[in-house]
Structure 1
Amino acid sequence: MNIIPLGERMEFIEELAALHHSEWGHLNPSLTLEKRIGKLASLAGGRSIPSIFIATSGNELIGSAALVLEDMQSRPDLSPWLAAVYVKEKYRSQGVASALVAKCEYEAKRSKVDTLYLYTEFASKLYERLGWRSLEPCMYRDVSVNIMYKEI
């Protein structure tokens, strides 16, 4: 498995956008697939914030994770965010998400970030195992989520 900036393998952008749209489209119905591709392209360039990393195995995309300045419009006081952590189902429970999160934490630390934030619907246990702590449960766009943080 390799973890690289999306910008190094732009041939995966449409597939990644479709995966993200399928997973999180309910959180922002106005974000069309085309707009999602544009948003990913804006993150694809580098290793600082904002940026997006992908996990690949040979010529297959297997997952992603991003660093963004804003991820919850209702919490502009929190920044930056770990976002878009996604692993294809057949690769789950194999350490891919942990490696992607570790890569983002490393890049955030290189960018002099002290604390990262994320929100999740279902993966709080995973992030707790990786050292993240719950900040608060809340409703975001009519969905129950848990805001978490990690001092890095």
Structure 2
Amino acid sequence: MPVHDLRDYPHHLDTLASWHQKEWAHLNPGQTLEQRIFKMQDYLKPDFIPSTFIYLRDGKLCGSAAIIESDMDTHTELRPWLASVYVSPNERRQGIGRILVESVMERARHNDISTLYLYTPDQANFYRKLGWRAIADESYHDTPVTTMSVRLV
């Protein structure tokens, strides 16, 4: 199985934090890489939420997906969230993102979570193909995003 819990591979945390900072810093205004690394330490704690799952191929880190309590400060009533779905540019278009998302969905289902939420600036069609439905198109930190949900039961 190529999807693993980050808790079992904590040495990848700094690389993930760097990837995530480069990709999404504009959605977290003012957050430094050091702050992101500090915040991501929570993914190494034993609770299911938050958790980060990583895709490894021959020991090489290829991508990540997380489940967190809340991902939008404008929708604190919605929880929990799929977040930080990221695939390294050299590994894209190989099904890794789909495998990561489906793995988080299955793990959430096994943890008695009935609905997951996410927001995406540019991948709504990708998520629709995996059974997600749009809740709203809105602006978040001056970025147009689609907020989505999926029923797991």
Q: Does the pair score TM above 0.5?
A: yes
CA separation in 2, counterparts of 1:25 and 1:140? Answer: 13
Structure 1 residue 59: Cα displacement: 2.6
Residue 132 (structure 2) pairs with residue 132 (structure 1): yes
Look up the match of 1:92. 92
Q: Which amino acid aligns with 1:146?
A: T
Look up the match of 1:74. 74
Structure 1 residue 44: Cα displacement: 2.6
Look up the match of 1:146. 146
Q: Which runs of 4+ in 1 moved over 6 A?
A: none
Given that residues 6 and 54 in structure 1 are in contact (C-alpha distance below 8 angstroms), is that contact kept between their aligned partners in structure 2? yes
Look up the match of 2:38. 38
Look up the match of 1:16. 16
Q: Which moved more, 1:130-139 or 1:26-35?
A: 26-35
5+ residue gaps, structure 2, are none
5+ residue gaps, structure 1, are none
Count the aligned residue pairs: 152
Q: TM-score, normalised by structure 1?
A: 0.95
Q: TM-score, normalised by structure 2?
A: 0.95
Given that residues 69 and 81 in structure 1 are in contact (C-alpha distance below 8 angstroms), is that contact kept between their aligned partners in structure 2? yes
Any idea what the Cα deviations from partners look like across 1:87-108, whole Å, max 9, x if unmatched?
Answer: 0111111110111101110111
Identity, % of aligned positions: 38
Q: Which moved more, 1:18-27 or 1:46-55?
A: 46-55
